[in-house]
Amino acid sequence: MTRFSANLGFLWTELSLPDAIRAAKAAGFDAVECHWPYETPAEDVAAALEETGLTMLGLNTIRGKPGENGLCALPGREAEAHAAIDQALDYAGKIGTPKVHVMAGFAEGAAAHETFVSNLRYACEQAAAKGITILIEPLNKYDAPGYFLTTSDQAAEIIAEVGAENLALMFDCYHLQIMEGDLTRRLTARLPIIGHIQFASVPARSEPDCGEVNYAHIFAHIESLGYDAPLGAEYKPRETTASGLGWMTTFGGGS
């Protein structure tokens, strides 16, 4: 049976992070994940995770200054990028989170590529000591115009160049359907480097029960590949989070 992780960056945003964890447990999610938890004391998050028995699967490095979307591909900002990586790894260690998404930011060109690779090597080295996997995620050019990392091919090349065993691809079906399509074959091809899978409807980025992607097929295909980790529900509810959870029963998860 497919298992699901609630992305609390989009779900139950009206609640505190600890209470959102409790709401996800009550709704039948198997795990949780988030974006930027840093304003919430790690001990409060850890307590909620222990209470519910859920794991916080992943979190992001900070975006940077207002209007930015990550630091790690920005030439000349290496000190800030390393600080962001250290912050994320420290927080992840305190709450038992196994994966950290290192955000590239708005950049382009050879210098950005070299900077991203260098910062990822730093991240992977620091993360290895804590048993943490580093993730990189291609974002689509409509939601994040100018973002450095946009395709799974580009991500695969970077992962190969960095050469770290604890670097993997965040395969977000929403972003990659927009940028590349052909999700069934792409999931198969990228399986060896996938560290986490997320989903949302396309193009609305709402619950996965509408739009151009047949998630009944996609989830069954993922299961057929032998991938059994919880899939990340990273979507923006049409109304409230609670009122939109019928898809979980449809797709074989939830209470």
For the stretch 34-73, pLDDT in tens is 999 999 999 999 999 999 999 999 999 999 999 999 999 9
Residue whose C-alpha is closest to residue 48's, from 80, 64, 26 = 26
What average pLDDT does range 24-32 have in this prediction?
97
Q: How many beta carbons lie within 10 A of that of residue 122, not counting itself?
A: 17
Where does the chain show beta strands of DSSP type E? Answer: 4-7, 31-33, 58-60, 99-101, 133-136, 167-172, 194-199, 231-233
Residue tagged active-site, from 137, 212, 223, 239 = 137
Domain membership flag for residue 92: yes
Residue tagged active-site, from 43, 161, 212, 234 = 234
- H or E, element range at 112: helix 110-128
Domain membership flag for residue 108: yes
Domain membership flag for residue 152: yes
What average pLDDT does range 235-241 have in this prediction?
98
Distance between CA atoms of 43 and 82, rounded to whole angstroms? 23
| pLDDT at residue number 180 | 97
Q: What is the pTM of this model?
A: 0.96
pLDDT in tens, 181-214: 999 999 999 999 999 999 999 999 999 999 999 9
Domain membership flag for residue 255: no
Per the document, the length of the chain is 255
Domain membership flag for residue 212: yes
Alpha-helical (H) ranges within 181-242 are 183-190, 215-224
Distance between CA atoms of 240 and 246, rounded to whole angstroms? 12
Tell me how far CA of residue 192 lies from CA of 15, 26, 56, 76, in angstroms. 36, 33, 23, 33
pLDDT confidence tier of residue 255, bands split at 50, 70 and 90: very low
Count how many domains the chain has.
1
What residue numbers bound the domain in which 59 lies? 4-250
Distance between CA atoms of 171 and 178, rounded to whole angstroms? 12
Domain membership flag for residue 13: yes
Residue type, 134: I
| pLDDT at residue number 1 | 80
Q: What is the DSSP letter of 230?
A: P
Residue type, 157: E
| pLDDT at residue number 253 | 60
CATH number at residue 45: 3.20.20.150
234 is catalytic: yes
pLDDT confidence tier of residue 7, bands split at 50, 70 and 90: very high
| pLDDT at residue number 121 | 98
137 is catalytic: yes
Residue whose C-alpha is closest to residue 211's, from 241, 185, 188, 236 = 236
> Counting Cβ atoms within 10 Å, is residue 107 exposed (0-12), middle (13-18) or buried (19+)?
buried
Domain membership flag for residue 126: yes
* Strand arrangement of the beta sheet that strand 167-172 belongs to: 31-33, 4-7, 231-233, 194-199, 167-172, 133-136, 99-101, 58-60
**174 alpha carbon, distance to own chain's centre:** 12
* Pairing label, strands 194-199, 231-233: parallel
